[in-house]
Amino acid sequence: MKLHEYQAKDIFGKSGIPVPNGQLVTAPDQATKAVQIINGPPWVIKAQVHAGGRGKGGGVKVAHYPYEVVTATETLLGKPLVTKQTGPDGVIVNQVLIEEGIEIDREFYLSMVVDRASARPTMVFSQAGGMEIEEVAAVSPELILKEHIDPAAGWMPHQARNLIYALDPVPSPGAIKTLISVMGNVYKVFMTLDCSMVEINPLVTTMTGSAVALDAKLIIDDNALFRQKELLQLDDPREKEPLELMAEKYDLNYIRLDGNIGAMVNGAGLAMATMDVIKLAGAEPANFLDVGGGASEEMITKGFEIILEDRRVKAILINIFGGILRCDVLARGVLAAAKKTDIRVPLIVRLEGTNVDEGRKILGNSGLRFLVAKDIAEAAELVAKQV
């Protein structure tokens, strides 16, 4: 679950990670008031959307006069913001964060993630702050420093020193002290809130030697939300694609894509491979839908309804290789959806695995019109013929 910058900064502020003074506004007249409370000039006006690439997309503005703050807020609020992560239509900006400008001495990159290979939380630090970190990794990987954390010991101060004293030039004693403190607190936030990522880019030090998180990105591990219930209220459904939101309610892994072949598959690997096969056959998938290993009849029904809801879909491919999900459950789920909604496009079904005979029988006796594919190659061919 992604958090907005202002939500992450709120958490940072309460966790000993300094952030600029700021205020969230949802209407231009609130900006007039905000500018009276927040130190400035300059002020920074930042669109609050989950998509990355905000800066280059025009979602971050600097103002030197109060009226500019209001104008900038008006320009952003209620309008779509297009970044390289949003697609051509962009996302609507519902909220804007107005902050005091900070006098920057140096900019850094700081993040924490779980490193897959070592299975340890890992602090990533770089003096190339403010740049996109993938770019730094590609051009000057030597500028990216990492410290793996022993889960039994936790984050240790020497690890912070390893990262900070490797900088050239070494920061002032005051800056070192605040950077060490920020790193320790990032680790605490990461562990306490079950994060899959904490990222501060840039983390800056000021002339007076304090460290401030100018940006904040926080992603919570969806698998841990059952024990982070108080964070659930920070979820912003407006940021999500409506069909994806619907899928989320039923624990379905659905991603909307640009094509017109709807696909329902069990298992992420097979779902990805099925997308690949559709494309190799000359068609384009309209979605990725993994109904999961242990899908219930109701989940199958909902998944099928979501595909039918997508008006661009010209044909539907169901590719199921039953394991933990039994083919009879799949068949009943599809039938339940078919009873509620008219299936107006060709349906191609490929079933194999656990309880396959029962599943085929249920579909065969249902009166539902569909094409049977004997294997994945035939399924893809049949699908491509429909569009």
Partner 1 sequence: MSILVDENSRVVVQGITGREGTFHTKQMLDYKTKVCAGVTPGKGGQKCEGVPVFNTVQEAVEKEGVNVSCIFVPPAFSGDAIMEAASADMEVIVCITEGIPILDMVKVAGFLRDKDSVLIGPNCPGIISPGKTKVGIMPGAIHRPGDMAIISRSGTLTYEVVDQLTRAGFGQSTCIGIGGDPIVGTDFIDHLRRFKEDPETRGVILIGEIGGTAEEEAAEYIQNEFNKPVIAFIAGQTAPPGRRMGHAGAIISGGQGKAEDKIKALQTRGITVAPNVATLGKTALEVMGKS
Catalytic residue ranges = 109, 199
Minimum CB–partner distance for residue 124 and partner 1 (Å): 6
Q: Which of 75, 162, 196, 210 binds partner 1 (CB under 8 A)?
A: 196
- The CB density around residue 259, as the number of other CB atoms within 10 Å, is 18
Q: Which of 58, 78, 80, 151 binds partner 1 (CB under 8 A)?
A: 151
Q: Which of 20, 57, 59, 121 binds partner 1 (CB under 8 A)?
A: 121
What tokens appear for 368 in the block? 């539902």
**Secondary element (H or E) of residue 175:** helix 173-192
| Among 261, 259, 380, residue whose Cα is nearest residue 314 | 261
- Phi, psi (deg, nearest 5) at residue 81: -115, 125
Let me know: does 229 contact 159? Beta carbons within 8 Å. Answer: no
Instruction: Answer yes or no whether residue 137 interacts with partner 1 by CB under 8 A.
Output: yes
Instruction: Answer yes or no whether residue 229 interacts with partner 1 by CB under 8 A.
Output: no
Cα distance between residue 54 and residue 84, in whole Å: 9
Q: Which is nearer to partner 1, 321 or 370 (CB)?
A: 321
Q: Which of 88, 141, 173, 367 binds partner 1 (CB under 8 A)?
A: 141
Minimum CB–partner distance for residue 236 and partner 1 (Å): 18
Q: Which is nearer to partner 1, 102 or 291 (CB)?
A: 291
Cα distance between residue 283 and residue 261, in whole Å: 7
Minimum CB–partner distance for residue 292 and partner 1 (Å): 7
From residue 89 to residue 118, what is the string marking binding to partner 1 with x (rule CB under 8 A)? ----------------------x-xxxxx-
Q: Which is nearer to partner 1, 60 or 255 (CB)?
A: 255
Instruction: Answer yes or no whether residue 377 interacts with partner 1 by CB under 8 A.
Output: yes
Judged by CB under 8 A, the stretch of 24-32, 191-199, 204-212, 303-311 that binds partner 1 is: 191-199
Judged by CB under 8 A, the stretch of 6-14, 66-74, 232-240, 260-268 that binds partner 1 is: 260-268
CA distances for 174 relative to 100, 180, 202, 208, 351, angstroms: 22, 10, 18, 8, 65
Cα distance between residue 296 and residue 293, in whole Å: 9
Q: Which residue has the tokens 């899959």?
A: 196
Let me know: does 74 contact 46? Beta carbons within 8 Å. Answer: no
Spell 26-43 as b/e; 16+ CB within 10 A means b: eebebbeebbeebebebb
**The Cα angle at residue 273 between residues 271 and 277, in degrees rounded to 5:** 115
Cα distance between residue 42 and residue 228, in whole Å: 37
Minimum CB–partner distance for residue 353 and partner 1 (Å): 4
Cα distance between residue 130 and residue 124, in whole Å: 14
From residue 6 to residue 35, what is the string marking binding to partner 1 with x (rule CB under 8 A)? ------------------------------
Instruction: Answer yes or no whether residue 202 interacts with partner 1 by CB under 8 A.
Output: no
Q: Which of 270, 343, 368, 387 binds partner 1 (CB under 8 A)?
A: 270
Footprint of partner 1 (CB under 8 A): 52, 85, 111, 113-117, 119-122, 124, 133-134, 137-138, 141, 144, 146, 150-152, 191, 194, 196-197, 199, 217, 219, 221, 223-224, 226-227, 255, 257, 265-270, 272-273, 275-280, 285, 288, 292-294, 320-324, 352-354, 375-377, 380
